[in-house]
Structure 1
Amino acid sequence: MRRLWLGLAFTLALVGGPSRGAEPAETTAWFTLYAEEGEKVGRIIETVTVRPDGREIVDEQEITVREQGAPVTRIVQTNTRREDAQGRTVFLSLYSLVGREWTRIEATIRDGRAVIVRRTASGHHQSIVPLPPAVRFDAGEGLLAGWDPAATPSLEFDNFNLDFMVVEHVAITPATGAPPTAAPTANGGMSVLRSRYEGGSLQGVSRLTLDARRDIVAVVLPRFGTSLTVRITDRATALAPYEPYRVLPKTMTKSPFRIPPGALQGHIRYRFTFQDGLEFPLPQTGEQKAVLSGGAAVVDICETCGPGLPTDPAYLADALKPTAWLQSDHPKVRAIAARVINLKVSDTRRMQMLVEAVVPRLGRIDFTGHFSAVDALNRHAGDCTEAAVILAAAARAAGIPAKVVNGLVYSRERYHGVSNAFLPHSWVLAYVDGHWKSFDAALLTFDSSHIALTVGDGEARSLAASGQLASLLDWRDLAEVRARP
C-alpha cells in the first residue's frame, strides 16, 4: 500500500542540474520535496564533480515517514552517474536505505548493454539489459534546451531507468491546466507532461513546469490520492527541519458510493475516464473484464467476469520462473511450498493452504519500502505487497503459475482514520484447475472491489506504475449488476 518514493529518482534526473561547458570542479544544487498540501516532506542534494577523466553526478534524497502506531522510518536514496571525458555514461549506482534495510543496484555500461547487479542483505541477482544506440541516461535533460514544441510537439527518446532496471520510452508533450502544486512560471514558460512507456504500455506520468529558457522550475509526481512536488530551492530551505510524512491516509480516496457487503460479493461495474487524455487499457484477469470505448473504461468485476490471463505454454512457463523479486528457488520459499506439493488436492486448495502458510510469516505490519519474497521472509515484516510476493513465489515453487497484481481495493470500515475509501493494494493471480483465479494473502478474501491496474512479477516498476496509473482515473460511475428475475 505504497510507494511514493518509487520512481522519484527518475524525476530528479530531469530537475535542472549544471549544464555542460565551462563547469567548476564541483557544484551543488538544492531541492525540496513538498506534499500536495504544501508541507515540506524531504530534501534532495545534487553534487556534480568534474574530473580530468569525466564527471560524477550524485543525488542524495531523504524523506521520513510515520504511519499510525508505527515508529518514524528514515528513507535515504543515493543515485550516482559517472561519465567519461566524452560525456558518455559508463556507470550508474543506486543505494537505498529504508530504516535498516538496504538495497544496492549497480550498472556497468559497455558494448551496448547494461550489466546490472542488484544486492540486498539476502543475496544478489545479476541481469543484462540491451541498450538502444541512442539511449539516454539523463532522463532527457540535455534535450530540453533545444526543444521547439511548435516544430516537434512530442519530444521522444529512450531512457535507461536504473531504479526499475529497464529501458523506457519517454514522451514530453505540452499540457493544459497546470495543477495547483506547480510553481509559477516566468514569462514564456510552459507546463508539459512527461509520459513513460515500456513495451508500448503506459507506466507513469509527471508534470514539469519549465521557464522561458526551458529550465525546470518544478516536477509534480502524481500518485493515487496525492502527489509529490520537487522544486529547486536554496540550501537553507532544503536543510530546514520537516515533519514525518504520513503516506497511507493520503493515498486513500473516498469512494463516490458506499458499497454494501452484498454487492462486494457480487458483480460491480465501474466506469472511468482518463485525466490529460492519457488513456490506457486495464488488465483482463479471471475476475476482471475491461473495455475501452469513447475515451472511457468500463470495468466489470465478479467471480467469473474476466477472460483471464493468457494460458499458452510459454506464458505459463514464464509464470513459473524464479525472478529477483519472486525467488521461488530459494530454500526458505521452497520450504513453504513443500507442505502442499505432494498433497492429493486441487490446485485451488493448494493455493488456499499457501495463503494460510504465508500469513504468519510476515508477523509485523510494516508499510515502508518494497521487498522481495526472501527479503520479506528474513525481515518477518511487511504489508500486502510483501504478502503477495511471498505467496506468488511459494506458488511457483509448488509448480503453480502465479503473477502479482497491483491495483485498488475498497475499505468500508475505518482504516487509518479513513472509511468508505479505495486504497492501493496487491494480491496474486494463480493458474489453478484450468483458469486464472485471485488469492489475497493480506485480506484473506477476494471481492469485487479489487480493481487490477498492473500484472507483473512483484517488481518495483509494476508497483510504481499501478500508483501512477490510478492517479489518471476519473471515477464516473459505480453500480451493482444484478441478474433479472
Structure 2
Amino acid sequence: MRRERLHIVHQQPGELARVSESEIYAIESTEGEPLEIRKVQRSDTANHEFLATVEGNNLVVRGQRGEAMFKPLPPRWRLHQGRRSAWRAAAERDGAVVLDEWSFSLQRFRVVEYRLTPITAGEWTESLVSRLPDLPVEAKWLQRIEWQVERVEDDGGRSQLYLDARFDILAEHSETAGQSLWLLACDEHCATSNIEAVNHVYQRLLRSPYRISDSALNSRIRYELEWPDSSAPPPETADQHVVPAKGGRSGYLVTVCDRCGEEPMPAAKVLQQALENNYWLTLPDAARATARELVSGLADGDISRRGAMNRLTRYVTAHMNEVASYAGYATADEAYRSGEGDCTEHALLLAALARSVGIPTRIAMGVAYNNERFLGRRFVFVPHMWVQAWTGEVWESYDSALGSFNAGYITLGISQGEQDAYLAINNALVKADVLSAVQLRRRPSP
C-alpha cells in the first residue's frame, strides 16, 4: 500500500489561515496490478471520502454515502508500482508510454502520455538552481536525478517529473494559474518552514476595461470576451446572446440582457435530469422538509415557481455564513449542515433545495462584475456560480450569494454541479480577458 498526503494552508487577505488536507491510499498486487484506491479530503467546508475498488472488469467508485458508480476498466490503468514498471520499460525502448489514470476530481479515467529523457545531475542542478536561487545546492537528492519526464494529459495539462534510477519521483514542476509551481523532495524542517504564498485566486479575476455604472448593469451590455477554449464557447441562454467575434479575432461577443438570448426549449429528458440527485446535489431529510415548508403552496398553485425560487434564495442567503470561506468544494449536504462556503456552496444548496420541491435547476458558472473591493481589487469580474431554474418559460437566474442578477453576469458554462466542470472553467479563466464592455441603449419610439 502507498499513502500520499497533501497539506495546504489557505489564507485570504485579512482572514485567518485555513487548512485543507488530502490523502490518497493506493493498493496494488505484487505484480503491480491496481486493486483499490481511496481518497480522503478534509477542510472547514468540504469533506469527501471516495473508495474505488476493482470488481471484475469495472472500477466501482463509492462516495461517503455509499452510492456506487461503475467505470469500465481501461487496459492501461496503473498505480504507483505499475507506473514505475511502465516507465522502466519505456526507458529501454523509445522513452514513450501512454497510461490511463483515475481522477477522483474529474470522476473519470484520463489518458496520460509520458516521454522520458535522460538527464545528468549537473544539468539538473544548474537548471533548478537558476530558477530557485534559495534552494541548497548541496541537497543530496539533487545528485540522484537521472530522468526528466514530460507528462501530458488528454485535456492539455502538462507537467515535468524528475526521477531517480529506481524511477521514483523526486521533483515535479507545473504551471498553475500562470505561475510556476515546484513540488520538491524535502525534509520535515523544509516542509514546515515559511514559504512565499502563491496568489492563486488573483489569476482568475478578469479586469474590467473601465468602471461599469449601476445604471449600465441594470440595462443591456455587450462584452467582447477573449476565451481560450473554442470547443466550449459561452452558452446561449435566455439572458445571454453569443456570437463569434468578427474581424478574425479570437473570442466572442456576449450580450447580457433581459430575455434577448435564443436558447431553445429544453427537451423532457433535460428537465428530468435537472430534477435528479447526484453526488453534489444531495440533501438530508431535514433540508428537504425545510424546503417543502418554505414553498408549501407550490403544489397547489398558490405560489408560482418564480415565487418559490425567491423564497428559497432568501433562505439560502440567511442560512449561509455572511463571511465566505474559499477552502474546498463542498456538496449541498455539507453546505446545509455547516452553513459555510462561498458562491459554489450557495449555488449547490439552492439548486438542491429547488429540485427537492420539483423545480428543475442547473448550475451556471462564469464571472460576475464587482464595483466594490474584492480581495484588494476593484472593477473586476470575479469567478462565480449561481442557479438557473426552469420556471415554465425560460431558465431564470437566481443568486443567493451576491443578490439580484444583472448585466454584470457572464455565463461561461452550465453543469449539474459536478466539480470537474467547475475546475475546467476555472482553468480557462487564467487565459480569458474582457476586452470591451458597451452599454446598448434602445432608440426611443417615434
* Deviation digits for residues 41-91 of structure 1 (CA, Å, limit 9, x no counterpart): xxxxxxxxxxxxxxx332211111122443221111111222112211111
- Equivalent of 2:51 in 87, 102, 106: 106
Higher relative strand content = 1
C-alpha displacement of 1:310: 5.7
Amino acid at match of 2:435: R
Structural mapping, 1:198-217, within 5 Å: 205-209=156-160
Preserved contact between residue 411 and residue 420 of structure 1 (Cα < 8 Å): yes
C-alpha displacement of 1:212: 11
Preserved contact between residue 348 and residue 433 of structure 1 (Cα < 8 Å): no
Sequence identity percentage? 22
- Equivalent of 2:109 in 160, 167, 174: 167
Structural mapping, 1:395-414, within 5 Å: 395-414=354-373
Match of 1:97 in 2: 42
Match of 1:306 in 2: 261
Match of 2:428 in 1: 469
Q: Residues 296, 416 of structure 1: CA spacing in aligned structure 2 closer, same or farther, 3 A cutoff?
A: closer
In the superposition, the TM-score normalised over structure 1's length comes to 0.72
Preserved contact between residue 278 and residue 472 of structure 1 (Cα < 8 Å): no
Higher relative helix content = 2
Separation in structure 2 between the aligned mates of residue 157 and residue 270 of structure 1, nearest angstrom: 41
C-alpha displacement of 1:132: 4.5
Match of 2:233 in 1: 281
Once structures 1 and 2 are overlaid, which stretch shifts more, 62-71 or 404-413?
A: 62-71
* Deviation digits for residues 325-366 of structure 1 (CA, Å, limit 9, x no counterpart): 112573313422432142412211211111111111113522
The alignment partner of 2:19 has SS state of: strand
Structural mapping, 1:63-212, within 5 Å: 63-99=8-44, 102-119=47-64, 124-138=65-79, 146=90, 158-169=100-111, 194-197=152-155, 205-209=156-160
Separation in structure 2 between the aligned mates of residue 169 and residue 297 of structure 1, nearest angstrom: 30
Bigger radius of gyration among the two: 2
- Equivalent of 1:359 in 311, 317, 322: 317
Q: Residues 314, 227 of structure 1: CA spacing in aligned structure 2 closer, same or farther, 3 A cutoff?
A: farther
Preserved contact between residue 191 and residue 207 of structure 1 (Cα < 8 Å): no
How many residue pairs end up in the alignment? 408
C-alpha displacement of 1:254: 2.5
Structure 1: stretches of 5+ with no match in the other structure: 1-55, 174-180, 198-204
The alignment partner of 2:157 has SS state of: strand
Q: CA RMSD in A?
A: 3.9
Structural mapping, 1:355-394, within 5 Å: 355-365=313-323, 366-394=325-353
Match of 1:453 in 2: 412
In the superposition, the TM-score normalised over structure 2's length comes to 0.78
Q: Residues 99, 386 of structure 1: CA spacing in aligned structure 2 closer, same or farther, 3 A cutoff?
A: closer
Preserved contact between residue 151 and residue 161 of structure 2 (Cα < 8 Å): no
Match of 1:340 in 2: 295
- Equivalent of 1:258 in 211, 223, 229: 211
Q: Residues 262, 479 of structure 1: CA spacing in aligned structure 2 closer, same or farther, 3 A cutoff?
A: same
Preserved contact between residue 34 and residue 79 of structure 2 (Cα < 8 Å): no
Q: Residues 100, 300 of structure 1: CA spacing in aligned structure 2 closer, same or farther, 3 A cutoff?
A: closer
Q: Residues 446, 264 of structure 1: CA spacing in aligned structure 2 closer, same or farther, 3 A cutoff?
A: same
Separation in structure 2 between the aligned mates of residue 166 and residue 249 of structure 1, nearest angstrom: 29
C-alpha displacement of 1:210: 6.1
Amino acid at match of 2:426: G
C-alpha displacement of 1:100: 8.2
Separation in structure 2 between the aligned mates of residue 191 and residue 328 of structure 1, nearest angstrom: 44
Q: Residues 428, 292 of structure 1: CA spacing in aligned structure 2 closer, same or farther, 3 A cutoff?
A: same
C-alpha displacement of 1:315: 0.8
C-alpha displacement of 1:220: 2.6
The alignment partner of 1:281 has SS state of: coil
Amino acid at match of 1:285: T
